[in-house]
Structure 1
Amino acid sequence: MAAQDSPNQTSLPRRLIVGSLVAIAILALAVWFIAPGSVSTNDAQIDGHIHPLNARVSGTIVWVNPIVDDTHFVKAGTVLARLDSNDYEPTVDRLQGDVQSTEAQLSSAKLNVDISEATSVSRLSVAKAAVDEAQAEKDTAEAQSLAAAAAVTQSNAVFKRAEDDRKRYLALFESHEISQSEYDQRATEAATAEAQLRAAEANLSAARQHIASAAQRITERKSDVLAAQTAPQQIASARANVLRVNGDLRKTKASLKDAVLNLSYTEIVAPVDGVIGRKQIEVGQRISAGSLILTLTPPDEIWAIANFKETQLQRMKIGQTATIHIDSSGEDLSGTVESLGGATGAKYALLPPENATGNYVKVVQRVPVRVRISSGRQRTSLVPGMSIEVRVDTRL
């Protein structure tokens, strides 16, 4: 009979089989609980806000804060540099004067409206009364003219008789038939009559001029009546003038506000806390509006951007926890998936791929995933651009 196997020889293969099954089970559990439960990538970096600070007006730099230099930290509100304000102060002064002048014009225009409204009722009656007064003055002047004309006729007759008497007496005097005194008396009477004639003619001329002047005043007063009848239109015109001047005032104030803002922009102030980078200003430098002065990087406004393969996004969703490994320090930080990219990284490229050329090669694309770094941790040593590794737990 063949010899029987010993118990030790039969139990050894059984143990090997059991051990292999246990190892397979452990490996299966590891694959089940670990591999499908997380995804990771080393195509990731720290990202953050980088604020470019541009000049808002052109000018010459007259002062730069001594603390302004690359890698230096500044607080929000710190004056970084100043431009020469002499380029903008005269404009502000001129526009302030324009505003005051236009305000005075507006006050005058409003007062004119009040005056027009207050006098619109009485102006017509006053104008009509002035016409009647001018007509009465003309009638008086015409009566005076008639009286003056009669006086001229009478004075002319007296003068002719006196002049004829003087001429006869002159002949008698020359023939020595009368004395010198008798002739002188007739000559005096003739001269007096002539003076009275000239005075009567002057009165007639003045009366006629008075008639013409009265007629001119009647025409003027009638024009006043017509003007008084257009009082509603004048009031409307005065109100329109108020609107026009008010519009000019608003435009002037807007120009003044713009000039004051430009003057304030000559003082360049840090808008946020941040670390200075790319400083490009020096005293005496002439800069134009829009020129880049420097950049500010707030140390606390940071997050992680991880570029995962599209095949890794099957179970990824917003809110899942993540572990962020910092290459520079070896530190691990916790985080949360905040958002998934709206397109692959290739689509954001300057020249995105065009697959309709017939030479299509399928390449696994990467999608940017934004991870929020948990607050409460020391993050001052993190700066945008640092290399990191990100692992996301996809079991939640």
Structure 2
Amino acid sequence: MEEIKKEEIKKTENSNENNETKNSNKKIALKKILTFIICLVVIGVIFILYWALYGRTIEDTDDAYVNGSQNIITSQVSGTINKLMIEDTQYVNKGDLLATVDDIDYRLALENATASLGKAIRYYSSLNSQVAQLQKDVIAKENTLKKAKTDYQIAKSSYEAGLASKHEFLTTKDNLNIAIASLEQSNSALNNAITQVSSTSIMTHPDVQQAITAYKKAYVDLERTKIYAPVSGVVAKKAIFLGQEVAPSQELLTIINLENTWADVNLKETQMKNVKVGNKVTLVSDVNKKKYSGYVQGISAGTGSSLSLLPAQNATGNWIKIVQRVPVRVHIDSDSIKENGIIPIGSSMKATVYLEKNSDKIVPFQEKTSSLYSIDEATIDEQVNNIIKNNIQ
């Protein structure tokens, strides 16, 4: 009996221990569940706070790339490259001489234009003396006509009186007609010469104007045999070599100004709701991992697919909606470039747009001009005046 009681007592103790273990495990499980729920709540609160205080005020993407002005250099005249001063990746300054085209043909053309202008000036100058000469010729023809009329009247009277032969009479009549025609011809030549002199000046005479235009054209063509850098930057895509024949508008090389770059940030259309011009932007370059500052300078008028060479045609039966991206132009502050260094165009960046912050360094789009391709017309006019002085009579 005692053994049976001992066994029952042991079973009771074991049962109590099992119950206590189960209760302990339940408490541990409940603690874990509560801890997990608390963690979820904390994470949710953190996310809500992040979204409320920061997340809703930004839009970010890693679909952003550096871009810049690619100044394509072309030749303005045709000819053979006889001098070359640049190579790929070389830095050049604005106004540097890059290459020259053989100018022998253009120098000869300028000399020919100079001679033609001198010839036109001398022709105009001769018109004044020609007028005086023609006036004297008209006076002489008028005197001849008077004498012919007198001879005709005398011969007519003598012929009617029987004192002169018919041959003599007809001869004086022919001489009279010849004198009249000769005077008319001289008067016509005189009137023509007077018209050319009186209606124009030396600078407005058609022949002189044509010669001046041809001279200026030859002068400009000679100047354009020199190819200069329109901007400062790095040489790229060089396709010009010594001895190469070039033609007008042929692409020779490209100059990229890396100190004046921007970023093309391609945001999803679902991110564009609150993006506006002037928003501050932070850019992190994949090249040097440095942070650049800027602002939204402009928003494209179309999505990337609509502005592509072959726009997508969605009017099909198997159409699938794809979120489009809108190119946003982000101006990179020049101070930021100077501080962190230049970055090559085409390199990737991560962009963060701050929707509630606007930049105070907004630079409006400005007109860009260059005097590099202009010709000094004052110098040309001075040379034209010298040619006129040397040839006028």
Same fold (TM over 0.5): yes
Aligned: 1:38 with 2:52 = no
**Alignment CA distance shift 1:238-1:216 (3 Å):** farther
Aligned counterparts of 1:251 and 1:229: Cα–Cα separation in 2: 29
Q: Structure 1: where are the runs of 5+ without partners?
A: 1-8, 151-203
2:377 equivalent in structure 1: none
Aligned counterparts of 1:40 and 1:85: Cα–Cα separation in 2: 55
**Once the 2 structures are TM-superposed, how far is the Cα of residue 312 of structure 1 from its aligned partner?**
0.4
1:389 equivalent in structure 2: 350
1:47 equivalent in structure 2: 67
Does the CA contact (< 8 Å) of 1:307 and 1:369 recur in 2? yes
Secondary structure of the residue that 1:295 maps to in structure 2? strand
1:305 equivalent in structure 2: 264
Aligned counterparts of 2:124 and 2:263: Cα–Cα separation in 1: 60
Does the CA contact (< 8 Å) of 1:113 and 1:238 recur in 2? no
1:173 equivalent in structure 2: none
Aligned counterparts of 2:184 and 2:81: Cα–Cα separation in 1: 66
Does the CA contact (< 8 Å) of 1:109 and 1:242 recur in 2? no
Residue of 109, 112, 120 corresponding to 1:91: 109
2:255 equivalent in structure 1: 296
**Once the 2 structures are TM-superposed, how far is the Cα of residue 25 of structure 1 from its aligned partner?**
4.4
- Aligned Cα RMSD in Å? 4.2
Counterpart code for 1:55: S
Does the CA contact (< 8 Å) of 2:287 and 2:343 recur in 1? no
**Once the 2 structures are TM-superposed, how far is the Cα of residue 235 of structure 1 from its aligned partner?**
7.5
**Once the 2 structures are TM-superposed, how far is the Cα of residue 113 of structure 1 from its aligned partner?**
7.2
Aligned counterparts of 2:208 and 2:43: Cα–Cα separation in 1: 90
Secondary structure of the residue that 1:301 maps to in structure 2? strand
Secondary structure of the residue that 2:266 maps to in structure 1? strand
**TM-score w.r.t. length of structure 2:** 0.69
Counterpart code for 1:78: D
Does the CA contact (< 8 Å) of 2:259 and 2:342 recur in 1? no
Q: Structure 2: where are the runs of 5+ without partners?
A: 1-26, 358-393
**TM-score w.r.t. length of structure 1:** 0.68
* 1:95-114 pair list within 5 angstroms: 95-109=113-127
Residue of 345, 354, 367 corresponding to 2:326: 367
Aligned: 1:134 with 2:137 = no
Aligned counterparts of 1:114 and 1:374: Cα–Cα separation in 2: 75
1:222 equivalent in structure 2: 180
Residue of 237, 244, 249 corresponding to 2:208: 249
**Alignment CA distance shift 1:313-1:113 (3 Å):** farther
Residue of 215, 218, 222 corresponding to 1:263: 222
| More helix by percentage | 1
1:281 equivalent in structure 2: 240
Secondary structure of the residue that 1:97 maps to in structure 2? helix
Q: Percent identity?
A: 27
2:293 equivalent in structure 1: 334
**Once the 2 structures are TM-superposed, how far is the Cα of residue 380 of structure 1 from its aligned partner?**
4.4
Moved more, 370-379 or 269-278: 370-379
Does the CA contact (< 8 Å) of 1:109 and 1:241 recur in 2? no
- Cα distance per residue 1:11-43 (max 9 Å; x no partner): x9xx98999877654442221121111001101
**Alignment CA distance shift 1:225-1:252 (3 Å):** closer
**Alignment CA distance shift 1:361-1:284 (3 Å):** same
Does the CA contact (< 8 Å) of 1:43 and 1:307 recur in 2? yes
Aligned counterparts of 2:75 and 2:189: Cα–Cα separation in 1: 56
Aligned counterparts of 1:335 and 1:56: Cα–Cα separation in 2: 37
Aligned counterparts of 1:296 and 1:260: Cα–Cα separation in 2: 27
Does the CA contact (< 8 Å) of 1:299 and 1:383 recur in 2? yes
Counterpart code for 1:59: G
Secondary structure of the residue that 2:89 maps to in structure 1? coil
Larger Rg: 1
Does the CA contact (< 8 Å) of 1:112 and 1:238 recur in 2? no
- Cα distance per residue 1:147-182 (max 9 Å; x no partner): 9x98xxxxxxxxxxxxxxxxxxxxxxxxxxxxxxxx
